[in-house]
A and B are shown apart, each in its own frame.
Chain A
Amino acid sequence: MGASRFEFRDVWEYITSNQDYLIRLMIQHAHLVFFAIVLGVVIGITLGFLSAYYKPVAAVVLPFAQIMMTVPSIALIGILLPFVGLGFNNGLVALTLYSLLPIIRNTYTGLNEISPSILEAARGMGLSERRILWRIKLPLVLPVVFAGIRTAIVMIVGIGAIASYVGAGGLGDLIFRGIARMRPVMILTGAIFISIIAIFLDIIMGWIERKLIARQT
């Protein structure tokens, strides 16, 4: 393609004349990220709690989740191909898997970092393990888990763009189609949109996270 000459006015023009397409891509992207993070949160928090409560689970889950993270995203998406095929499902599984580690790890370390004296006091006062879970552990670990969810969301917004390559839709389409058609304006639009969404989500989630922490201290 070579260094192409264009102006930012072209990008603006592209955005305004392709609004519907862009909105559709954004909705696809949001759809994918949303369902993946919901799954990731449910599975991740469950595994995090199981790991904190049962050492053998931790010994399996934590190293596994960590190795997961070292697998390059395009590689994971490729590996999943024979199992879940092309399209939305592939993206969903890949994004869910990537969202797990930050959530599991933060849940696990958050639970482990609750001061033993707090738990001893709760136990000594007659709270059952189940009540301790609901009244003490969950509220205490919430901001830490939320920080993990924040990391996960920002990360999978980016990986969602890569999943576009296997037909999961979303803003990555702009980049890959732009490369294929040699249209720098499309590539740039895609890159800018994805970046802005990731930054925006990070800021919003960071704000909520600070609120959660402030509420507790």
Chain B
Amino acid sequence: MTDSGVNINSAVISAEESVSPTRRFFIGIQKSGPVLVPLLSLAAMIVLIIYMVNNPGGAIEARILNYGNVLRMFREHITLVLVGSGAAILTSVPLGILITRPAMRRYTPLIDNPVNVAQTVPGLAILALFLTIFGLGFRTAIFALWLYSLLPILRNTSSGIQGIEPGIIEAARGMGMRPWRILIRIELPLALPIIMAGIKTATVVLVGSAALSTFIGAGGLGELIVTGIDLMRPTLIYTGAILSALLAILLDNLLGSLERYLRER
């Protein structure tokens, strides 16, 4: 997926003019969003797991839908997402800072352009490519997901820093700040909301890509979905689908409000 895939919060509501009840309702949700939506998603996930395990709706489903199994897949999924995006943050933020240093500036397009191209490569293709190189397994999936979420974060880091008005940097330099201090005190704080937006996009996309990891034998909630498709058991599909969708919504909201907090500050 490309950059503009998953962020729309900002466009929806601007509280102005006369406010209709519907709008007020959505503004209400928006305002309580940081707490309400993640909590609701979490609660919904717990309720769903308990309900499905107790009402599997058939013998085949019952064999798969037990706490041990579901929680394992859930844990695998979260691990894939968090380790994948965590590793991506740790690598792409420093890399993004590096390529925006004055000495490196003229090489920035050399890195930016391939990154933009690579970002159009579909998630399944990346997983498949890595499968042929590293074989089946959890580690291959992590590696592919890391690379896949590296791109949006790297791009947002570099464009966030490059987007800072040159006058601000010049003023800081004029006041006698060292490059290192400028980075810490000016560039990073100003670019942080944009970096955060990249992290959010990457993480939400990763929840979806991680669901594909089951094809290369890495488990996760995709396993539940794919098993459901293979066995034609809708209950399994729904359980996996809704759990992963809720996980995406939860992370989207948590990181989204973190981004908004950073922006407003």
Contacts and interface: CB of A to CB of B under 8 A. Distances in A.
Q: Direct contact between A and B in the complex (CB less than 8 angstroms)?
A: yes
Contacts of A96: none
Given A4-B132, A162-B124, A198-B122, A78 B5 contact: no
A161 B204 contact: no
B204 A70 contact: yes
Interface stretch (A34-42, A57-65, A126-134): A57-65
A70 B252 contact: yes
B132 A188 contact: yes
A96 B209 CA distance: 19
Nearest to B129: A191
Contact of B120 (A63, A166, A202): A202
B121 A187 contact: no
Contact of B241 (A79, A109, A179): A79
B222 interface: yes
B134 to A, nearest CB: 6
Contact of A191 (B11, B25, B128, B245): B128
A82 interface: yes
Contacts of B121: 158, 194-195, 198-199
A113 to B, nearest CB: 10
Given A59-B23, A69-B6, A102-B5, A199 B120 contact: yes
Contact of B225 (A62, A75, A105): A75
B3 to A, nearest CB: 8
Interface in B112-142: 117, 120-126, 128-129, 131-136
B32 interface: no
B55 interface: no
A1 B12 contact: no
- SS class, residues of chain B in contact with chain A: helix
A114 interface: no
B225 A78 contact: yes
B135 A62 contact: no
A87 to B, nearest CB: 13
B215 interface: yes
A214 interface: no
B240 interface: yes
- SS class, residues of chain A in contact with chain B: helix
Among B117, B124, B209, B248, find the residue whose CB has the most chain A CB atoms closer than 10 A.
B124
Contacts of B9: 66
Among B125, B131, B252, find the residue whose CB has the most chain A CB atoms closer than 10 A.
B125
A151 interface: yes
Given A2-B135, A158-B122, A162-B124, A76 B241 contact: yes
B132 A75 contact: no
Contacts of A202: 2, 117, 120
B199 interface: no
A8 to B, nearest CB: 11
Given A56-B20, A191-B129, A199-B120, A72 B234 contact: no
A184 B132 contact: yes
Contacts of B252: 70
A187 B11 contact: no
Given A1-B136, A4-B132, A71-B241, 13 more contacts: A3-B133, A55-B23, A63-B12, A65-B8, A67-B245, A75-B237, A77-B229, A78-B237, A78-B240, A148-B4, A187-B132, A199-B120, A199-B121
24 contacts: A2-B136, A59-B26, A62-B12, A63-B12, A65-B8, A72-B207, A72-B208, A72-B209, A72-B244, A75-B225, A78-B241, A102-B4, A112-B11, A157-B122, A158-B122, A161-B122, A179-B128, A179-B216, A188-B132, A191-B124, A191-B125, A191-B129, A194-B125, A202-B120
Interface of A: 1-4, 6, 55-56, 58-59, 62-63, 65-67, 69-79, 81-82, 101-102, 105-106, 108-109, 112, 147-148, 151, 154-155, 157-159, 161-162, 165-166, 172, 175-176, 178-179, 184, 187-188, 190-192, 194-195, 198-199, 202
